[in-house]
Amino acid sequence: MENGTKGTLQIFRDKIKQIKSYEEALGVLNWDLRTGAPKKGVEQRSEAIGVLSEAAFRLSTSDEMGELLDALGADGNKEQLHAIDRKLVEETKKDYDRNKKIPPKLYQEYVVLTSQAESYWEEAKENSDYAGFQPYLEKIIDYTNRFIDLWGAKATRYDTLLDLYEPEMTTAELDRVFGGLREKLVSLAAAVAASPHQPDRSFLGQTYDKEAQKKFSLFILEQMGYDFSSGRLDESVHPFATGLSPGDVRITTRYLPDDVTSALFGTIHEGGHALYEQNIMPELIGTTLCTGTSMGIHESQSRFWENVIGRSRPFWQQYFGELRKLFPGQLDVDVDDFYRAINTVEPSLIRIEADELTYNLHIIIRYEMEKAIFNDGVKAADLPELWNEKYRSYLGIAPRSDKEGVLQDVHWSGGAFGYFPSYSLGNMYAAQFADTLVKELPELWTQIGRGELLPTKQWLTDRIYRYGKLETPAEIVRRVTGKPLDPSYLVTYLETKYKDIYKL
């Protein structure tokens, strides 16, 4: 590499490191805000987050950054770069071109708004007070529309938002995938509902000690290979994972006194996210490539650990005895009864508590609502009624309050429009990865049944985790499985599983 290019690259790397340092500090501030910061400090904390966010934003969109990217991306220079640096320049350029169109002050206002809104959402949800939260949501939608105008809408306005979370994904592709998926899942759900072999869930309806729930959550995370010297488990209203660096990946869960499975599967889900972030190759640390390549691939890992592994029969053949010890006299059933109970299919109102089969219908509802907001101009005031209407249509049930309806998810309060489809895409990716995993590790289920989860973690690390953002979702899926994304793997997985459970 020529000295000029080498010097330019070093300056560029230093700028990226500076931006990442701001982002790490912001990550800690946001984590603290969600895990118990005093309510009276929310407004000032939000202002501080806004100031630091603007500083990082200014660095990332500065004229100097533009000049560095132009120099490193120029013919002759780009070819001299190592593959990691070349990809770093490409990704930074993409973000630069998008963010340069947004005035820094406008961005700061938006960050302050969403920081405040996420905290007020918690209160609004607790009190089922959509009217109190609506003004925040109206402003967030307005800012998001202004951003779309500045960026320039793609094929549809909503396509512009999808690209933020799943690069190159479009509404046309999602309409095709979701259309076929919905038809097959509705048919399977109907067959399941008609089966005379319904699991008994009555024993789950008890009061379960919170500390015992926490103990088992920590135990399972350890079994999965979650590194507690590089992370921690805390409590929050809505479970989430925060990856500050591979050496500091924090997760949260929530403990419900009347549901022993909520914290358990929430913890495993977030643990899947954390394993991804903890096992990215060291060469990417300090760069913007040190994260998951897309939210769909990220969700594939959380959903894989939660459902494919965590809700499997072999998993509970190993761990059910440990769970029973923590709740003496409360789980006096055999392991197969427990396995069938935690895989019951039943229309429900709460997305994060939904079974694997109907879960995707929850996502399709949110996807259609977000399209309606940004492509059709549906207003915030109309969302509760539209939400309830879709739940009646898709699942045959309707929320009794906005707390279990339109206010149940944190995503919109943080401006994360376009994120929800990632969950169903994650289910599809997970099923396709699992198909390849079983072929390459024929002893997989025997290992899981013995409590040997680390070989699975290592396989995922070698093929997915370590690469961070070096490859696109499409590149990862094709490299790992030899094929592009195919939703039929998810359908096959669900049909096989539920035909067994319900004896269809």
Residue 299 annotated as part of some ligand binding site:
yes
For residue 33 the two structure tokens come to 């805000």
Residue by residue, DSSP assigns 42-80 as: HHHHHHHHHHHHHHHHHHHTSHHHHHHHHHHHSTTTGGG
> How many CA within 13 A on the CB side of residue 249?
25
Residue of 106, 130, 175, 497 lying closest to 367 (CA atoms): 175
Sign, CA dihedral 469-475-476-480, equals: negative
Residue 269 annotated as part of some ligand binding site:
yes
Sign, CA dihedral 494-497-503-504, equals: positive
In whole angstroms, what is the distance from residue 323 CA to residue 261 CA?
Answer: 11
Would strands 248-253 and 231-235 be described as parallel, antiparallel, or unpaired? parallel
For residue 20 the two structure tokens come to 């990442």
Q: Which helix (H) or strand (E) holds 134?
A: helix 130-151
Amino acid at 82: H
Q: Exposed, middle or buried, 99 (CB in 10 Å: 0-12/13-18/19+)?
A: middle
Active-site amino acid positions: 270
In whole angstroms, what is the distance from residue 250 CA to residue 270 CA?
Answer: 9
Residue reference for tokens 């500091």: 248
Residue by residue, DSSP assigns 262-273 as: HHHHHHHHHHHH
In eight-state DSSP terms, residue 199 is: P
Query: What order do you get walking across the sheet with 231-235 strand by strand?
Result: 231-235, 248-253, 241-245
Residues 258-295: b if buried by 16+ CB within 10 A, e if exposed: ebbbbbbbbbbbbbbbbbbbbbbbeebebbbbbbbbbb
**Annotated binding residues:** 269, 273, 299
Q: Which residues are annotated as a binding site for Zn(2+)?
A: 269, 273, 299
